[in-house]
Amino acid sequence: MGEKVIYLDNAAATKLDEAVFEEMKSCFFEKYAVATSEFGYSQGIEAREILLKARTDLAACLGADPEEMVFTSGNAESGNLALKGVAGALGEKKGKHIIVSKIEDFPVLHSAKTLEKQGFKVDYLDVDEFGFIDMGQLEKRIGADTILVSVQHANQEIGTVQDIEKIGKLCRERDVLFHTDATHTFTRIPIDVNRVNADLVTISAHTIHGPKGIGGLYVRKGTPLMKLMDGGFQEFDHRGGIENIPGAVGFAKAARLVTPEENLYLQAMQKRITELVFERIPLVTLNGHPEKRIPQNANITFHHVEGESITLHLDMYGIAVSTGSACFSRSLEASHVMMAIGGDHERAHGSIRFSFGRFNSMEEVGFVVEKLEKIIENLRRISPLGKRGGN
Amino acid sequence: MGEKVIYLDNAAATKLDEAVFEEMKSCFFEKYAVATSEFGYSQGIEAREILLKARTDLAACLGADPEEMVFTSGNAESGNLALKGVAGALGEKKGKHIIVSKIEDFPVLHSAKTLEKQGFKVDYLDVDEFGFIDMGQLEKRIGADTILVSVQHANQEIGTVQDIEKIGKLCRERDVLFHTDATHTFTRIPIDVNRVNADLVTISAHTIHGPKGIGGLYVRKGTPLMKLMDGGFQEFDHRGGIENIPGAVGFAKAARLVTPEENLYLQAMQKRITELVFERIPLVTLNGHPEKRIPQNANITFHHVEGESITLHLDMYGIAVSTGSACFSRSLEASHVMMAIGGDHERAHGSIRFSFGRFNSMEEVGFVVEKLEKIIENLRRISPLGKRGGN
């Protein structure tokens, strides 16, 4: 495969699509007016229309109205706005209780921790070995003072897809707002906000070959929400700051480019890498559910080996992967997701997350497993972690 | 001037520079790895280095260290992070008093209002006819419970440049943190954070032909700051969320492209439009200080005429301008800046903000004033606001 780098990291999805780039280009150089002005000049009005078109396209992906789609700087901001926004709007009026799952990604999880420090009570739902929450536990925890349930659509590390329809239904029955973080499912797995009864949905562009620095939050009409970002009255008064029109336009284009066929191909690569690894490498565990998972992710533990060692060895072959929790790779702490699904430190540290994107191919999958086989064998031979492979 | 639109609106500065675009391009398509991983693959480490280079370049523009430069999604976020971040970190520990000027831009002003609702006491400093704060008033207002003074470097509408060195010195003497919003001065007027004794400085890319969706906050080492955006541990744990490396790289390039010669040319256009207007059109007032103003802005009131009418008529000639407060053009409320400098509604509504950027020329200035002369004359002839022009 020569000099080319094979990205099976989250960067697999962060490469901008050329068609997205072309779409953004016209906003950079031709239609770059500020959208704010309603009484202003023609170009400003045109800019507003361009922004509305992007908003409409993205809202349509969720079965939502354009006025319910709020642009943010990314999924991190969307998650923060959902949690802190509802807390700010309802904390004094209705109650200070919030429920999240233990395996939420950091924007939601750490927003919850911040709110806890500010006097909110947060329940962190357990998950089973696959990462599913327990509906019975959720039901029991909802009380009169519960203002928000936030459970992700799919997990960022192990790819497990929750049954958000069931969760949404329960929340609606109990009159509690429901936020779901759909960063890893948007356009990959269909979501209809009305079928799901979601009040808030976090989406992001950089996970579907769109630009970084732009994301969205679906906000159901009438949802009480305090601003996270004060400024002007942009985004239906939910988020101040000059509109990032090139970003919005690129985001909408990225969403339009995803096809069901592409999602099937991503899933085929995911299934193939899993099959091949299980065929050729002993002592491995698939993390997450075998079927109910996002198409673009496989997460596998190679027992008795450090994930960091695997990463470094694959790197020598020009293969870019991350250990289980990509965001956490910076620290050496074990992934909170792996610990929550009942893994021990050994299982957590030996896990590798393979992410697939539009620019990956089945050939790459074969090449990667071939190299993996050798690497794991060698690492196990010298492993201080105990048992050798193949025993 | 044919079909070409002359932007003398804030869009004059928001057009991306082609060189910025080229710099971003390589991050979109070649070096698009995620910077988060420290123990990861080579491309991730390279991404971190690219990000550090951008950070270093921008920090250098302020005489700061790279670790003091935090990337945000723009000046709106930076202003929110500065005010709410200090409030969150020091509110319980030191006090709940904040001082801002009455003419801050909305991110700072509305963050202050939000904090007021949360139990903080905010003093809004008066300004004189030019927009300068009163140092005596500031001095009197600082008390034992004051945690932050936020006074902008230059005003977004009238362009007046405050003496932030004096303000910073006073704040340092009184042991109060000082934030300045330098959205409209960054690279246009030199700032040295150590000379100015600033603890927090807001900067933005979109005001200097950089991309939208990226900004920065200088955070002096050791400044207590609560996160606005929870997530991972990015940005020295001041701001979670995946790093927008193309944005950061574009921002740094945009900053490097600004030259002292360019700033002189912007200033020459500003002085020329003012001279010509005063020469040819009666009953006009220059808003802001004649000398102590940013190079790229002129703000002029055409008495007895509505700003919106001027905007619409200039639009017919392909000239794009905004009324005094571009961000407020959406509402018909009078600009808070114009009211604070002692203007009445008539003066506020008749004001036009001319902004100049790299792609404007002296020829355009002549063309615009020529058209303006006719438009104002016609509008005054039919004006319901009283006196005709030329009397």
A349-367 per-position pLDDT tens digit? 889 999 999 999 999 999 9
Q: Which CATH class name applies to A31-257?
A: alpha beta
Write out chain A residues lying below 8 Å of B54, CB-based: none
What contacts A204, CB < 8 A, 6 or more positions away? A74, A75, A78, A183, A186, A210, A215, A216
Here the tokens at position A231 are: 């400024």
Lowest mean pLDDT among A70-74, A321-325, A362-366, B286-290: A321-325
Taking alpha carbons only, the member of B212, B235, B214 closest to residue B225 is B235
Closest-CA residue in chain A for B75? A241
Whether A346 has a pLDDT exceeding 90, the answer reads: no
Give how far Cα B276 sits from Cα of A40, B60, B138, B287, B367, Å. Answer: 24, 38, 37, 15, 11
Whether A95 has a pLDDT exceeding 80, the answer reads: yes
The CA-CA-CA angle for residues B228, B231, B237, to 5°, reads 70
Q: Look at A241 and B42 and tell me if their CB atoms are within 8 Å.
A: no
- Average pLDDT estimate for A284-292: 97
Which of A14, A31, A73, A120 to probe by mutation at the B interface, max B CB count within 10 Å?
A73
Name the residue among A242, A247, A329 with its Cβ closest to that of B36. Answer: A329
CA distance A324 to chain B (A): 11
Residue B380, Cα to own-chain centre: how many angstroms? Answer: 32
Whether A260 has a pLDDT exceeding 70, the answer reads: yes
Beta pairing class for B215-219 and B69-72:
antiparallel
* Domain definitions of chain A by residue range: 6-13+259-382, 31-257
Taking alpha carbons only, the member of B186, B115, B183, B110 closest to residue B148 is B115
Which of A22, A30, A98, A327 to probe by mutation at the B interface, max B CB count within 10 Å?
A327
* pLDDT for position B324: 63
Strand partners, B124: B100
Q: Look at A7 and B34 and tell me if their CB atoms are within 8 Å.
A: no
Q: Look at A229 and B32 and tell me if their CB atoms are within 8 Å.
A: no
- Average pLDDT estimate for A100-106: 98
Give how far Cα A173 sits from Cα of A68, A150, A168, Å. Answer: 22, 16, 9
Q: Look at B330 and A38 and tell me if their CB atoms are within 8 Å.
A: yes
CA distance A250 to chain B (A): 12
Architecture of domain B6-13+259-381: Alpha-Beta Complex (3.90)
* pLDDT for position B347: 83
The CA-CA-CA angle for residues A198, A200, A205, to 5°, reads 115
Give how far Cα A131 sits from Cα of A127, A274, A277, Å. Answer: 5, 18, 22
- Type of residue at B159: G
Q: Look at B73 and A76 and tell me if their CB atoms are within 8 Å.
A: no
Q: What is the DSSP letter of B162?
A: P
Name the residue among B34, B241, B320 with its Cβ closest to that of A9. Answer: B34
Distance CA B263, CA B296 (A): 8
Name the residue among B43, B244, B311 with its Cβ closest to that of A213. Answer: B244
* pLDDT for position B135: 98
Per-residue b or e along A100-138, where b marks 16 or more CB atoms closer than 10 Å to that residue's CB: bbbbbbbbbbbbbebbeeeebebbbbebeebbbbeeeeb
Contact yes or no for A32/B15 (Cβ under 8 A): yes
Write out chain B residues lying below 8 Å of A26, CB-based: none
Q: Look at A74 and B241 and tell me if their CB atoms are within 8 Å.
A: yes
CA distance A194 to chain B (A): 28
Whether A4 has a pLDDT exceeding 70, the answer reads: yes
CA distance A321 to chain B (A): 7
Q: Look at B43 and A233 and tell me if their CB atoms are within 8 Å.
A: no
* pLDDT for position B36: 62
Residue B27 a catalytic site member: no
Distance CA B173, CA A268 (A): 65
* Residues A31-65 pLDDT 10s: 888 876 555 678 888 899 999 999 999 999 999 99
Write out chain B residues lying below 8 Å of A323, CB-based: 39-40
Give how far Cα B317 sits from Cα of A35, B4, B120, Å. Answer: 20, 10, 49
Whether A1 has a pLDDT exceeding 80, the answer reads: no
Q: What is the pLDDT along chain B (391 residues), one digit of tens a residue?
A: 446 788 888 777 778 999 999 999 988 888 888 876 555 678 888 899 999 999 999 999 999 999 999 999 999 999 999 999 999 999 999 999 999 999 999 999 999 999 999 999 999 999 999 999 999 999 999 999 999 999 999 999 999 999 999 999 999 999 999 999 999 999 999 999 999 999 999 999 999 999 999 999 999 999 999 999 999 989 999 999 999 999 999 999 999 999 999 999 999 999 999 999 999 999 999 999 999 999 999 999 999 998 889 999 999 999 998 886 544 445 557 889 999 999 888 888 889 999 999 999 999 999 999 999 999 999 999 876 555 444 3
Distance CA A331, CA A339 (A): 15
Name the residue among A32, A36, A111 with its Cβ closest to that of B15. Answer: A32
Write out chain A residues lying below 8 Å of B230, CB-based: 76, 79-80, 106-107, 110-111, 113-114
- Type of residue at A10: N
ipTM of the complex in this document:
0.94
Write out chain A residues lying below 8 Å of B106, CB-based: 230-232, 240
CA distance A73 to chain B (A): 6
Whether A8 has a pLDDT exceeding 70, the answer reads: yes
Give all strands (DSSP E) within B207-303, no chain letters.
215-219, 284-286, 297-302
In the block, tokens 């349509």 appear at: A60
Name the residue among A39, A43, A74 with its Cβ closest to that of B242. Answer: A74
Q: Please count the other Cβ atoms lying within 10 Å of the Cβ belonging to residue B173.
A: 11
Taking alpha carbons only, the member of A83, A134, A139, A140 closest to residue A107 is A83
Reported as type and span, the H/E element at residue B200 is strand B200-204
Which of B22, B31, B46, B73 to probe by mutation at the A interface, max A CB count within 10 Å?
B73
* Residues A171-226 pLDDT 10s: 999 999 999 999 999 999 999 999 999 999 999 999 999 999 999 999 999 999 99
A vs B: CB pairs below 8 A: 260
* pLDDT for position B38: 54
CA distance A173 to chain B (A): 30
Distance CA A145, CA A251 (A): 37
The CA-CA-CA angle for residues B264, B268, B269, to 5°, reads 120
CATH code at A6-13+259-382:
3.90.1150.10
